[in-house]
């Protein structure tokens, strides 16, 4: 029995496609690849920088009965994030200038280190870090000697920062104004 030419052509084309498909599937087994590693929030922050610094400025007037009339303060905080650690040492440098009600002027400096507990996570999909510092006291060194308050008292703080570009920007609490920049 003779089949029409189109039927013969369709059967032979289908047979050729089947042979190619079976041959393609019969090749070497696919290579096993390692699972994709996703970057953790801590890794993302450390990729931008391991050491970070923030400078905070404050100035103002104090009302009576405070012996201080006018003050200026600059506080510098430096932290370093180390892989696998959930805490760091914060290095604090505080420079102050005071004008007393009697006209005396003092220039003071306080410096020290304190432990800061860390927790890494995400905020709206962006890497973030929570930093908790206990209440801290630093000894003031003033010129001339005799400033009435020999210590800087820093209250306990918990602040959260998210990675925005190459900055760690505070988002909680709302009054937190520090912005950390990577140390070059």
* pLDDT for residue 31: 73
* pLDDT for residue 64: 86
Q: What is the C-alpha separation between 37 and 45, in angstroms, rounded?
A: 16
Q: What is the C-alpha separation between 116 and 54, in angstroms, rounded?
A: 15
Residue 166 tokens read as: 């190459």
Chain centre distance of CA 72: 27
Residue 15 tokens read as: 């047979």
Q: What is the C-alpha separation between 78 and 54, in angstroms, rounded?
A: 7
Average pLDDT score, the chain: 86
Q: Can you tell me the mean pLDDT for 51-65?
A: 93
For 123-175, how does the pLDDT look when each residue is reduced to its tens digit (9 = 90+)?
999 999 999 999 999 999 999 999 999 999 999 999 999 999 999 999 999 99
Residue 182 tokens read as: 């990577």
Residue 179 has pLDDT above 80, yes or no: yes
Sign of CA dihedral 159, 150, 53, 38: negative
- Which residue has tokens 């200038």? 97
Over the Cα atoms of the chain, what is R_g?
32
The Cα-based distances of 170 to 64, 86, 147 in angstroms read: 33, 19, 33
Give φ, ψ of 47 to 5 degrees.
Answer: -60, -35
139, 110 Cβ separation under 8 angstroms = yes
More confident of the two residues 24 and 151: 151
Q: What ranges do the domains of the chain cover? A: 41-182
Residue 3 has pLDDT above 80, yes or no: no
């Amino acid at each position: 029995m003779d089949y029409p030419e189109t039927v013969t052509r369709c059967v032979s084309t289908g047979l050729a496609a089947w042979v190619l498909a079976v041959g393609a599937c019969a090749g070497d087994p696919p290579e096993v690849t390692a699972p994709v590693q996703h970057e953790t929030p801590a890794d993302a922050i450390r990729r931008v920088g391991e050491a970070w610094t923030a400078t905070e400025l404050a100035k103002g007037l104090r009302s009576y009965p405070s012996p201080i009339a006018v003050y200026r303060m600059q506080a510098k905080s430096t932290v370093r994030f180390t892989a696998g650690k959930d805490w760091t040492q914060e290095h604090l440098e505080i420079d102050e200038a005071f004008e007393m009600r009697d006209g005396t002027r003092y220039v003071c400096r306080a410096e020290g280190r304190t432990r800061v507990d860390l927790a890494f996570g995400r905020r709206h999909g962006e890497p973030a870090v929570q930093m908790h510092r206990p209440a801290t006291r630093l000894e003031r060194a003033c010129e001339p000697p005799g400033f009435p308050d020999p210590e800087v008292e820093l209250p306990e703080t918990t602040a959260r920062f998210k990675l925005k570009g190459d900055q760690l920007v505070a988002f909680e609490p709302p009054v937190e104004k520090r912005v950390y920049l990577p140390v070059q």
